[in-house]
Amino acid sequence: MTLQGKVALVAGGTRGAGRGIAVELGAAGATVYVTGRSTRAQQSEYARPETIEETAELVSASGGKGIAVQVDHLVAEDVHRLVERIRTEQGRLDILVNDIWGGEKLFEWNKPVWDHNLDNGLRMLRLGIDTHLITAHHALPLLIERPGGLLVEVTDGTAEYNADHYRLSPFYDLAKVAVTRMAWAHAKDLAKHDATSVSLTPGWLRSEMMLEAFGVSEDNWRDATAEVPHFVISETPRFVGRAVAALAADPDRLRWSGQSLSSGGLAQVYGFTDLDGSRPDAWRYVPEVQDAGKPADATGYR
């Protein structure tokens, strides 16, 4: 699998799934523009140590070329300048990954709309929906200049699962369902340009924030299953990264356009694994084991 000569934009690549996707695209040989708000000189309101420069360096170390650009994807002018820079420096855009989020500290679990902080909820919608539309508006014209482009809208949960499961709060629920529908809608517009649009969800992601919340590291993540048993199905951010790289390298990827996909589901098709050699299939495990009230056991699911 090679993406030599391909140019990707991973919007929201500071940490988590975005970082994993950027690194795996780099490992396949792509030039990857990594955007976000957190730099070594200026943190976002997350106040976390991860930066876009660090992600770009990981991309280059993996075998690609990482380019960090500070962008607030709610500011249309900043996104426009970013795309014009890519046009000037590369003359093309082959892969657009919309992984912009930023809402982890805003949503309130299991609260109805009247109890949820309204400002935080509306901010979550802007971060999770408006950013994706603004980025698509400015970046897709460059992507469709060549046939075969790929748009990946990253969300949480498959369309099938989210259709009949309430996701934490009305605001979070709407933000994640909307991204799936957005990918489906973009597929209609991109079809005439021989370009593919999909929504893609990781499973239970062992992001930097998740590991920190559970008081573990990637080396000893299984220790967290003592308190959170179903964490046994979790996956690294690189797993969803490998899903994107496999899609981008597939000459027949147009067959997926408009669909809701998962890292675990695509691993069964393309044969890639997580860093430990397993293939965790979280969106099959969650309804069949976790939601069914069965004891945590990933046997047959990774």
What is the pLDDT at residue 46?
79
CA–CA–CA angle 85, 80, 174 (5° rounding): 130
Residue 230, pLDDT above cutoff 80: yes
CA dihedral of residues 12, 183, 205, 158 (deg, nearest 10): 170
pTM confidence score: 0.97
What value, to the nearest 5°, has the Cα angle with vertex 270 and ends 254 and 276? 140
- The pLDDT of residue 153 is above 90: yes
pLDDT at 232: 98
What are the structural domains, with CATH classification, of the chain?
A: 7-207+237-281 (3.40.50.720)
Per-residue pLDDT band for 110 (boundaries 50, 70, 90) equals confident
Instruction: Specify the pLDDT at position 45.
Output: 79
Is residue 12 within 8 A of residue 95, CB to CB? The reply is no
Window from 45-49, 93-97, 211-215 with minimum mean pLDDT: 45-49
Q: Which residues contact 49 (CB under 8 A, 6 or more apart)?
A: none
Both tokens of residue 235?
């996956």
Report H helices in the chain.
Answer: 16-27, 52-62, 76-90, 118-125, 131-143, 159-163, 170-190, 208-214, 237-249, 263-270, 282-285
pLDDT of the residue at 61: 98
Phi, psi of 183 (to 5 degrees): -60, -40
Q: Tell whether the model's pLDDT for residue 144 goes beyond 90.
A: yes
pLDDT value at 168 more than 90 = no
What is the dihedral angle through the alpha carbons of 123, 127, 130, 136, rounded to the nearest 10 degrees?
170
Q: Among 7-16, 69-78, 163-172, 254-263, whose mean pLDDT is lowest?
A: 163-172
Q: How confident is the model at residue 163 (pLDDT cuts 50, 70, 90)?
A: very high
- Length of the chain counted residue by residue: 302
Residue type present at position 11: A
